[in-house]
Structure 1
Amino acid sequence: MKYLPIVAGLAWTALTVMPATAADPMRFGLCYDLSKAYTFVTPQVAQAAKDYAELLNMKGGIEGHPVEMIVQDHGNEPQRGIECYEKLKRDGVMVFDMLSTPVSRAVLPRVMKDGNILIQSLAGRGDAVDGDVFKWVFPVGPTYWGQASNDIEYIKQKSGGQLKGVKIAFLYVDYPFGQEPIGILKTLAAKEGFDLQLFPYPLPGNDQASAWSQIRRFAPDWIVSWSLSNMHVIASREMKRNGIALDKYIAVNWMNEIDIGNIGAEAAKGIKRGTNVAGGSNHPIIQEIIKELYDKGKGNGDRKNLEDVYYNTGLAIWSIAVEGARLAIKKDGWPLTPEKIKNGLESIKDYNANDMMAPVTVTAQDHGGGGKTRIEMWDGAKWIPQTDWIAAYKDDVWNVVKAQSADYAKSDAQK
C-alpha cells in the first residue's frame, strides 16, 4: 500500500521535534455522551482524539502550536450539550463536536449565530452538508442518505448492473436515526425498480422477533440494516433462528469489532457493513501511536480499543479538523479565527489521512467532502473491502439535501 508523506496525510508538521509548549494552543471541544446512549462509541473516539493530539504535540503541534482536546460529558442531553458549548466557547474553543444527533441539533443554531465551527461527522442534520445554508457546520463524511445509496449501488453491482425485481428489506430501529434513509431508499426503489419493504423494530432493540418473522416471509435478496451496537448481535441471532443467510446483511457504519466478537468471529463470516474509514491497527499512524504512547504506558485509554474501527473513526474525524486548522494557519496565519478555520476546512482536497479513510474534498458548497463509502465483508478474521470508495446516486442524494436545507433556511428566516 502506498502512503502519502506524513505532512500531507495527517496534518503533521516537521518544524521541530521538540514538544510544542511556548506557542498559544489550538483547542478543540469534544462535548460527548460518555455516560448514557452513545457510550458504545464515544470512549474510543475521545481516546483517539487525545492520542492523536499527544502525538502531534511530540512533533511540534499544528504549525508549532500545541493541540488541546477538551473532553466533557453531556449525557446525550441537549441542555447539557448547550452548557458545554457555552463553557468551552468562553474558554476560547472555536471548533466543537457533539457526536450526538439530538445534541448537535440543539447546539447548531447557536453555532450558526456565533459563527463557530461545528464538526458533526456521522451525526446531526444530514442536510448540513449544504455549505450554502449551513456555513459553519462541517459534517465531513457520508450522510446516512449517501451511505444507503452506496449500499444500493453495491447491490446493483452484485445483481449484474440492474435492480429490477430485486427484493431489498430495510431493517431499522424505529427512531429518527433508523428512519432517516427511508426517503432516499423509496426514491431509488422507484427509479431502479427494486422491491423495497420496510421492517421497523422498537427501542431499545432487543425485541426484533416480529420484524424478522416478516422478513423471512418476504424472502429478500438483501437486507440493509440501520442498527446500533448490540442490535446487530440480536439481528444475527434472529437470522439464524429464521434460517436467513448472514451474507445478505449490510450494516450501517455503526458495527464494530466488539459486535463481531459478540456474534462470534467464525459465526459472523460473510456479514457486511458500509464504512468510510479503514479498520485495523496496521495503519502507520496507529503503529506510531502504539510505539510512542502505549508501549511507554502513555496511552489515553484501553489499548484493546486500537483494534476497534471506532478508534479509527475518531482519528479520521479529528485529523480532518486538525488538517483544516493547519491549512488555516498556513494560509492566513495565527491567531486563528472561526472564519480562518472555515476557509481552511473548505481548502481540504483529496485528503485521506494516509489511506485511513475515504478521500474527501471539502468546498464552500459541499461540507460533506463527497460522501464516499465502501462495503466491507467479515471473512472470519478481518474485514475485506468489497468495493472501491464510491459515491453513488449523487444527484438523488443532493436533491434530498437541498430540499431539507431549503426548509431549514426558510424556517430560520421566519424566526
Structure 2
Amino acid sequence: MKIKLLSILAGVGMAMSNVQPALAQAQTEPIKFALCYDLSKVYAFAVPQVAQAARDYAQILNQKGGIEGHPVEILVQDHGNEPQRGIECYEKMKREGAITFDFFSTPVGRALLPRAMQDNNVMISSFTGRSDAVDGDVFKWIFPIGPTYWSQAANNIQYIKSKSNNNLKGVKIAFFYLDTAFGLEPIGVLKTLAAKEGFDLQLFPNPLPGNNQSGAWSQIRRFNPDWVISWNLGNMHVVASREMKRNAMPMDKYIAVNWFNEVDIANIGADAAKGIKRGTNVVGGQEHPLIQQILKDLYDKGKGNGDRKHTNDIFYNTGLATYAPVFEGARLAIKQYGWPLTSDKMKRGLESLRNFDANGLIAPVTVTAKDHGGGGKTRIDMWDGAKWVPETGWFSAYDDVVQESAKKESAEFAKSKQ
C-alpha cells in the first residue's frame, strides 16, 4: 500500500512538473496587436506618431507586468496607403498571431473590412474608415471606437448652431474637403442635417495633392459662408489659412477635422492661427498622467520609441486614445473569459467597455454588441495664440440622424453581401 501510494505521489509529481512549465508559458505568452499603417505616403505626416504612441504605451504596460500577466507586442508594417499592400500586411500579421488588426486608413480599411469579417478577426478602425461600422449587428468584428467622421461632422454643426442663437436657418456653411473617401465620408450626414435644420450647405472639393486651392477658395469667397468646415490633412490646412487671409475671411470661422496638429499651427504661425478651431477626440498637450509617466519612465531614460518632440502632438495623443480602449478590452477579455485570448474573447472584451475614459484622456465610451462606436462624443478646441483651449465639454449631437444613417448604410452593406 505504501509503495502504491508513493507511486501515485510520484506520478502526481511528474504531472505537476509538466503543468508548471505549461502554466509559466501561458502566463508569458504575448498578446500581439497588428498595426498595418501608412508610414511613407499620404498619412506619413501623422501615422508614425500614432504607432510611436502605441509602442510607448505597450512598453509602459510591460514594465508593469503586461496585460493580466501577458506581455504586449506591437507589430508594425507600412502599407503606403495601398489596399493591396494592406492585404499583404494583414495576411502576414494573421500568420504571426495578431489578435487585432488596425489599418488607420479609410481606403485600406474599407478594402480589408470584408476580409476581416469573413475571417472573424477583430478590426480596429478608430477615427478612420466606414462610419456605419458602429452598427455591431452588421459589422460584428469591426470596432470604430470613438467618434466617427459622421459624429464629428454632426457635432460641428451643433457647435455652429450654439453660436447662431440655436437657429441655423439661413446660415451658410461651406464644406471644404479632400476629394477622397476620407473627405467624402461626412457629406451624407451634412446634407441630411442641412435639410433638417435649414442651413445653406455648399460643397467645395479639394483634389489631390490638395495644395492648389486658389480656385476653390475663390468659389468659397463668392459663397461668403458664415462658417467653413474643413476635411483636409496636414499642409492643406496651412495653404487654406493663407487662402483665407488672401480672401479676407476670418480665421475664427474655420473648423478643422481632428487631423489638425501642432505642426500645422507652427507652419501657419502661432499668432496668425489665433481663433482657428478643430473638432477633437482626445485631450491635447502633455499634462495627462499617462503621458507624464511615458516621459518620465521612457524618454527621460532614453527608452522612447521615437522622437520626444512627437509626444507633444495631437497625433501622438490620438495613438494613445486608439489603444487605451483596445488594451482595456484585452484585459477585460482575459479577466472575464480566461486565457488563451481568442478573437471571439477579444470581441466580447471590447463589447464590455463601460464608461471608459482612460483616466480623462478621451470622452467616456460604452461599447456594446450593438454599438461598436461608444457614443460619438467630441469637443471643439480653439487656438488662442499660444495653446489649445476647449470651447466645449465632451458632447454628441444629432444621435438620431447619425444612427439612422448608420442603420441605412449598414443595411445596404449587408444586402450587398447576401
In structure 2, the residue matched to 1:185 is 190
Mapped to 2, the partners of 1:272 and 1:304 lie a distance apart of 23
For 1:202 and 1:34, locate their aligned partners in 2 and report how far apart those are by CA, in whole Å.
22
Contact 1:27 1:69 survives alignment (8 Å): yes
Larger radius of gyration: 2
The question of whether the paired residues in 2 share the 8 Å contact of 1:21 and 1:66 is answered with no
Report the AA paired with residue 243 of structure 2.
E
Q: CA deviation at 1:201?
A: 2.1
Partner AA of 1:319 in structure 2: A
CA distance in 2, matches of 1:391, 1:168: 20
Distance 1:175 1:318 in 2: 26
Match of 1:197 among 189, 197, 202: 202
* Counterpart Cα distance in 2 of 1:336 and 1:303: 33
Name the residue aligned to 2:314.
309
Q: Which residue of 2 aligns with 1:393?
A: 398
Amino acid at match of 2:372: H
SS at match of 1:350: coil
Q: Is the 2:100–2:124 Cα contact (8 Å) retained in structure 1?
A: yes
Q: Counterparts of 2:215 and 2:375 in 1: how far apart (Å)?
A: 37
Moved >3 Å (runs of 4+):
none
Deviations for 1:383-404, whole angstroms, at most 9, x for unmatched residues?
1111111110011111111111
Supply the AA of the counterpart residue of 1:245: P
Give the match for residue 17 of structure 1. Answer: none
Deviation at 1:21, TM superposition (A): 11
Q: What is the CA deviation profile of residues 134-178 of structure 1, one whole-angstrom value per residue up to 9, with x for unaligned ones?
A: 000001111111111000000011111111111111111222211
2:224 aligns to what? Answer: 219
Secondary structure at 1:205's aligned position in 2? Answer: coil
**Residues 1:249 and 2:227 are matched in the alignment:** no
Alignment of 1:211-290 (within 5 A): 211-290=216-295
* 1:108 counterpart = 2:113: yes
Matched, 1:57 2:77: no
Kindly provide the CA deviation profile for residues 321-365 of structure 1, in whole angstroms up to 9, marking residues without a partner as x.
101000001111111111111111001011111111111110111
Please say if 1:96 is aligned against 2:98.
Answer: no
Contact 1:272/1:377, CA 8 A, preserved across alignment: yes
Deviations 1:299-331 (A, max 9, x none): 000000010000000001111110100000111
Q: Which amino acid aligns with 1:372?
A: K
- Is the CA contact 2:129–2:182 (under 8 Å) kept in the aligned structure 1? no
How far did residue 242 of structure 1 move? 0.4
Structure with the larger helix share: 2
Residues 77-135 of structure 1: per-residue CA shift (max 9 Å, x gap): 11111111111111111201011112112211121111110001111211111100000
Query: Deviation string for 1:201-233 (max 9, x for gaps)?
Result: 211111111111121122111111111111100
Separation in 2, partners of 1:355, 1:302:
25
Mean Cα deviation higher: 119-128 or 272-281 = 119-128
Report the 3-state secondary structure (helix = DSSP H, G, I; strand = E; otherwise coil) of the residue aligned with 2:405: helix
Secondary structure of the residue aligned to 1:53 is helix
In 2, are the aligned partners of 1:376 and 1:385 still within 8 Å (CA)?
A: yes
**Counterpart position of 1:154:** 159
What letter matches 1:275 in structure 2? T
Mapped to 1, the partners of 2:27 and 2:131 lie a distance apart of 40
Structure 1 residue matching 2:375: 3-state secondary structure: coil
Which residue in 1 is equivalent to 2:49? Answer: 44
- Alpha carbons 2:26, 2:339 under 8 Å: kept: no
Q: What does 1:11-160 align with in structure 2 at a 5 Å threshold?
A: 23-160=28-165
Q: Percent identity?
A: 69
What is the TM-score when the length of structure 2 is the normalising length? Answer: 0.93
1:19-48 residue CA offsets vs partner (Å, 9 max, x unmatched): x99611111001111111110111100000
Q: Specify the SS of the correspondent of 2:28.
A: coil
CA distance in 1, matches of 2:114, 2:48: 26
Query: Secondary structure of 1:115's partner?
Result: coil
Counterpart of 2:363 (choices 358, 362, 377) is 358
TM-score by length of 1: 0.93
Could you give the per-residue CA deviations for residues 232-279 of structure 1, whole angstroms, max 9, x where no partner exists? 000000000000000000001110111011001111000000011011
Which deviates further from its counterpart, 232-241 or 104-113? 104-113
Residue equivalent to 1:378: 383
CA distance in structure 1 between the aligned counterparts of 2:185 and 2:62, rounded to whole angstroms: 39
